[in-house]
Amino acid sequence: MTTDVQTKPVVPYVQVLDEQGNVVDSDRMPKLSDEELRTLMYRMVFTRIWDQRAVRLTRQGRLGFYAPVSGQEASMIGSEFATRKEDFILPGYRDMPQLVWHGWPLYKAFLYSRGHIEGGRIPEDVNILMPQIIIGAQIVQCAGVALAFKLKGEKRVAIAYTGDGGTSQGDFYEGLNFAGAFHAPAVFVVQNNQFAISVPVELQTAAKTLAQKAVAAGIPGIQVDGMDVLAVYSVMKEAVERAREGGGPTLIECVTFRYGPHTMSGDDPTRYRSKEVENEWERKDPLIRFRTFLERKGLWSQGDEERTIEEAKEAVNEALKQADAAPKMTIPELIDVMFKDLPAHLVRQRAEFAEEG
């Protein structure tokens, strides 16, 4: 006996601006001031310039590990913009922009890339964890942080970011289930950039959307055009405020694309992506789309663009100088920062290094 399989998406899809910058869903248009709209554009342009410079710095050997972000600015900037400073972000390794715009100093992002311990020393007033390298682990952590907020009676929200590949991990399902069962104030953002390194999303899952995986956890799931910053902000704002007011967690799938390689560690996207696919997504570029929308409203000009580019270049240069000025790490220092109270074997190792000079 055969059974018909549900093939239609079981979650809504949200888009506010189409590829030409036209408003296609006025009901979903977020209530943002002109200055807030300009800020969104500023941050996206700044992030694109920062990313381009970081790629070049990595090729020059001046940075270490780096995962390019160009193409994903709308999903990153739009979602973070919907949070409050007291909300807590638990990122993946590509999510540097959200951390920086949440308050993490840019020079620390460069030091983190170099593996320097100063990069991981988070200022007291910045509510983030360091990027998670273990795929999907931040989803479980997010559920725990969110539950802590609930138990303390704090109106704060925990936000975790992962990619489409993260949804294939056991931690993803465990975290969603835990957050759903305990009605924790969490938002899980999946940036579906179509490829988990070289594996296309259609080979990872038979589900028609990643957002519909929320159904099994008993929580809302929604899919959004991740190249549309206004749509991302609208969906994220609704999810964050619902969580803050006791409405429980949400899973958001941002359908987006990374223009560069998975990381700068030898990945070659031309081996698994066609030029036709890349051209198709370049026509959906989030900066071009939003720029067109703002220009029609008289809120953005070529002069604004050029000033933002120059400010971004200056900020990156200054952050790089700060990173270069950081003292070189020592092995005893690395040992000292591992634990508040060193275990006996590390005490012995530290003494051995001291004797050797």
Distance CA 229, CA 48 (A): 14
Based on the residue annotation, tell me whether 258 is a catalytic residue of this protein: yes
CB 168 within 8 Å of CB 174: no
Contact criterion met (CB below 8 Å) for 50 and 66? no
Name the token pair of 57: 């710095």
Provide Rg for the chain, Cα atoms.
21
Using CA atoms, how far apart are residues 182 and 149, in angstroms rounded to an integer? Answer: 12
H helical segments located in the chain = 34-59, 73-81, 96-101, 106-113, 137-152, 170-181, 201-204, 214-217, 229-244, 275-282, 286-296, 302-325, 331-336, 344-356
Please tell me the distance from the alpha carbon of residue 248 to that of residue 127, in angstroms, as a whole number: 20
Residue from 13, 173, 259, 272 carrying the catalytic annotation: 272
Residue 23: beta bridge partners?
Answer: 17
User: For residue 238, which amino acid is it?
Assistant: E
Task: Out of 258, 273, 289, 291, pick the active-site residue.
Answer: 258
In sequence order, the 6+-apart residues with CB closer than 8 A to the CB of 76 are 47, 69, 95, 97, 98, 191
To the query of whether residue 262 is one of the catalytic residues in this protein, the response is yes
- The one catalytic residue in 28, 156, 262, 289 is 262
Phi first, then psi: what are they for 220, rounded to 5°? -65, 145
Q: What number of other Cβ atoms are within 10 A of residue 227's Cβ? A: 28
Please answer whether residues 161 and 91 qualify as being in contact, where contact means their C-beta atoms are separated by less than 8 angstroms.
yes
* CA 212 and chain centroid, separation: 20
Residues with catalytic function: 258, 262, 272
